[in-house]
Structure 1
Amino acid sequence: MTETHAADVLAIYQLGIDEGNATFETAAPSWPAFDKAKLPDHRWVAVGAAGGQVLGWVAATAVSSRCVYAGVVEHSVYVHPKARGLGVGGALLEKLIASTEAAGIWTIQSGIFPENTASLALHARAGFRVIGTRERVAQQYGVWRDVVLLERRSSVAG
């Protein structure tokens, strides 16, 4: 994922935001803010064969600056609505898992709304497990929302 993908990446992010079950965010950030927040070695796009359009993306962020958490990242994965069901999300998670394991990262985690059953199923297929639910963790448009916490522990790192 590079700046050449910025417009497509942020557009897909905004589509996910607009659907209401992907994130607490209300608007995609600017590219400089997005770029700064994501780990450069652990962010990927899936590009379609016809025209090179971005079909989806995955990116990781550090969970903490404390050295004891150096092997723990949080990730997001977004797929364009027209590319869902085609294996894009699974391929992106496979790429993320490979890059993080090669870097010695031992835990990938994420928080997903329980209503986002497609994302929960995708993550289960990729080896993530539910570790709990944060009930009424925050409000979205005046409604309290729960978040399911998931993690995938590396079988080779850590």
Structure 2
Amino acid sequence: MSYLLRPMRADDADEVLTIYQAGLDSGQASFETRAPDWAAFDTGRLPDHRHVAAGPDGSVLGWIAVSATSARPAYAGVVEHSVYIRPDAQGQGVGTALLAAVIASTEAVGIWTIQSGVFPENTASLALHERAGFRRIGTRQRIARHHGRWRDVILLERRSPTIT
């Protein structure tokens, strides 16, 4: 599959949110059930660490973005990320490329930890993250209800080997 990685732009909003909603509809991506509007999405994610993979026709195949985990200065180097791939683009290296892009952009500004929570049933996401150097920190058991049932989340993190 051919694609180009580039920064996410406001004119990507419709495609980004459609891909987000498709992930939410799968039941394996998040506790959220509805993608936010663009204003909320935009406000909640750090602008310098949002990337898309665009196909030859310019359509968005997937996206990645990070959010601050805390406003406390001690945690300025810790972010949480989300990565979503369009269903017909999954399994073709798009997620790997997007993770590499966000690792590079965050390390370039001194961010030392990227974390994420993944449902245990989302084995493709777990494998993707492990290939990118994320490690399992532990399982947060019955952390919240999703569609009326308790769900566990595996907490993953990647510590930068270059930022000490």
Mapped to 2, the partners of 1:23 and 1:92 lie a distance apart of 18
Mapped to 1, the partners of 2:120 and 2:110 lie a distance apart of 30
User: What is the deviation of 1:2?
Assistant: 1.2
SS in 2 for 1:86: coil
Mapped to 1, the partners of 2:114 and 2:71 lie a distance apart of 16
User: What is the deviation of 1:52?
Assistant: 0.5
Which aligned runs of 4 or more in structure 1 are off by greater than 3 angstroms?
none
Aligned residue pair count: 157
SS in 1 for 2:152: strand
Percent identity for Structure 1 against Structure 2: 66
Which of residues 97, 101, 105 in structure 2 aligns to 1:99? 105
Q: Structure 2: which amino acid aligns with 1:104? A: G
Mapped to 2, the partners of 1:29 and 1:128 lie a distance apart of 27
SS in 1 for 2:81: strand
Residue equivalent to 1:26: 33
User: What is the deviation of 1:114?
Assistant: 0.2
User: What is the deviation of 1:80?
Assistant: 0.4
2:139 is aligned with 1:139: no
Residue equivalent to 2:17: 10
Q: Structure 1: which amino acid aligns with 2:49? A: H
Residue equivalent to 1:59: 65
2:160 is aligned with 1:154: yes
Alignment RMSD (CA, Å) = 0.5
Mapped to 2, the partners of 1:157 and 1:42 lie a distance apart of 17
- CA offsets per residue over residues 114-133 of structure 1, 9 Å max, x none? 00000000000000000000
The TM-score normalised by the length of structure 2 is: 0.95
Unpaired runs of at least 5, structure 2: 1-7
Mapped to 1, the partners of 2:143 and 2:116 lie a distance apart of 14
2:55 is aligned with 1:48: yes
Mapped to 2, the partners of 1:100 and 1:125 lie a distance apart of 18
Mapped to 1, the partners of 2:9 and 2:59 lie a distance apart of 13
- CA offsets per residue over residues 21-50 of structure 1, 9 Å max, x none? 10000100000000000000111000001x
